[in-house]
């Protein structure tokens, strides 16, 4: 086969573009139908750096770089004012030029809608992502390097306003829609909030210093709080919306059941508000289990502490009662018998109304001369028959 050779005549401009030598050589592109400095670009080789520049003023008095390749540091910079940052392999310089801002468009970096079509055989891949950042290994060849917070992605903070621009909300990271998944732990530093709701209505917060009693805490405890003091490094859960309730649920046999409910408008805390049992227990030990109902107010003469045991209502025959249970021994109860004209009963056993005890006429000696009531003989209480009629019940009481 005969080889054919073609001789291409190169113009001086093409030759200069392909090879240019000298001190800080450059190649300029000038569009003559544009008024200087418009339409003026140049490629510049200065030192060990290569750049693409645009003229800002006439006769190249000032210019700006769009691309910088620094051979000495093996670094690249892109942007309207490109400049290599020490320590970074690739720098995307911020947008410092004036332009109209458009919603759903990144001011510095924008990846428009795209469709990716797979042409491979049927298979499963572990991760499919438009942008993927692999795990980095940070090493040193000299002295020991200490990094306080090492990360694959770091965001300095939420944007700030110039004082004229108005932000409704400001976010360091904004996931507009879709599910977010974290395959690792999520940790917040001291005194930050986890806010739920567009306006941050529900709050989970950590307080490193603690909070004094009846003291407000921004976005967590508002108004004039009525609260106990909490110690340093405490977890706070709050709802800052007026009359907003807090509730917790569990799944019981496929159905959600509420086990805690705080009615903010009424100021009432319900434990197991449904038809469920509430048990407070601890493992066998020498530590006591104590439930205390205390009213520590001295502001009024009649600051009561009341334990109110209630049943359903007029259609219920349930008995409000207090039980004192000894497993394997004798258990006692005291309460009102709803099916016996609401008589107050003290007895043994489990169901109210069985093995009743009533006061006996026989009493232990007592100093009646001083007007003090005598103490009932417990033995006689056990031996006395239960009252069966209204008159006997009244006499018993």
Q: Where are the domains of the chain?
A: 12-92, 246-283, 321-364+374-396
Do 375 and 361 form a contact (C-beta atoms < 8 A)? no
The CA distance from 49 to 69, in Å, is 5
DSSP conformational letter for 396: H
**pLDDT given at position 73:** 92
The CA distance from 327 to 343, in Å, is 27
pLDDT in tens, the chain (397 residues): 444 444 444 455 555 555 566 777 888 889 989 999 999 999 999 889 999 999 999 999 999 999 999 999 999 999 888 899 988 999 988 766 777 877 888 888 888 999 999 999 999 999 999 999 999 999 988 889 999 999 999 999 999 999 999 999 999 999 999 999 999 999 989 999 999 988 889 999 999 999 999 999 999 999 999 999 999 999 999 999 998 999 999 998 999 988 889 999 998 888 877 666 777 776 666 677 788 888 888 877 788 888 888 887 777 778 888 989 888 888 898 988 888 888 888 988 755 545 555 443 344 444 443 443 433 334 344 444 444 444 444 444 4
The CA distance from 384 to 361, in Å, is 9
Question: Which among 243, 270, 245 is positioned nearest to 259, based on CA atoms?
Answer: 270
pTM for this prediction: 0.66
**pLDDT given at position 395:** 44
Q: 221 burial class (0-12, 13-18, 19+ CB within 10 angstroms)?
A: buried
The CA distance from 309 to 352, in Å, is 14
Question: Which among 350, 338, 340 is positioned nearest to 313, based on CA atoms?
Answer: 338
Q: Encode 239-276: b = buried (16+ Cβ within 10 Å), e = exposed.
A: bbeeeeeeeeeeeeeeeeeebebeeeeeeeeeeebeee
């Amino acid at each position: 086969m005969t080889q054919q050779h073609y001789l291409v005549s190169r113009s001086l401009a093409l030759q200069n573009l392909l090879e240019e030598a000298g001190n800080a050589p450059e190649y300029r592109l000038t569009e003559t139908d544009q008024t200087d400095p418009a339409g003026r670009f140049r490629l510049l080789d200065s030192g060990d750096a290569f750049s693409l520049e645009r003229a800002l003023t006439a006769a190249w008095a000032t210019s700006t770089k769009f691309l910088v390749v620094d051979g000495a540091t093996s670094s690249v910079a892109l942007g309207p004012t490109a400049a290599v940052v020490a320590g970074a392999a690739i720098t995307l310089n911020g947008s410092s030029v004036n332009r109209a801002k458009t919603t759903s468009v990144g001011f510095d970096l924008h990846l428009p809608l795209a469709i990716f079509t797979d042409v491979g055989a049927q298979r499963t891949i572990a991760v499919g992502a438009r942008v993927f950042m692999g795990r980095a290994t940070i090493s040193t060849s000299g002295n020991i390097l200490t990094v306080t917070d090492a990360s694959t992605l770091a965001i300095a903070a939420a944007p700030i306003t110039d004082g004229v621009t108005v932000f409704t909300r400001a976010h360091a990271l904004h996931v507009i829609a879709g599910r977010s998944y974290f395959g690792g732990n999520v940790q917040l530093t001291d005194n930050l909030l986890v806010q739920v709701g567009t306006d941050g209505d529900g709050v989970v917060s950590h307080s490193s210093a603690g909070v004094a009693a009846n003291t407000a805490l921004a976005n967590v405890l508002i108004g004039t709080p009525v609260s106990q003091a909490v110690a340093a490094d405490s977890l706070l859960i709050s709802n800052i919306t007026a009359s907003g309730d807090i509730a917790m649920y569990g799944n019981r046999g496929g159905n959600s059941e509420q086990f805690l409910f705080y009615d903010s408008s009424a100021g009432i805390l319900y434990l197991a508000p449904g038809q469920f049992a509430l048990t407070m227990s601890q493992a066998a030990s020498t530590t006591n289990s104590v439930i205390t109902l205390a009213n520590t107010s001295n502001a009024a003469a009649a600051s009561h502490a009341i334990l109110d045991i209630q049943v359903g209502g007029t259609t219920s025959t349930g008995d409000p009662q207090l039980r004192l249970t000894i497993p394997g021994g004798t258990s006692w109860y005291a309460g009102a018998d709803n099916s016996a004209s609401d008589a107050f009963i003290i007895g043994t056993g489990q169901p109210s109304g069985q093995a009743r005890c009533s006061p006996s006429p026989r009493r232990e000696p007592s100093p009646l001369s001083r007007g003090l009531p005598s103490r009932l003989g417990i033995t006689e209480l056990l031996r006395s028959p239960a009252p069966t009629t209204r008159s006997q019940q009244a006499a018993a009481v």
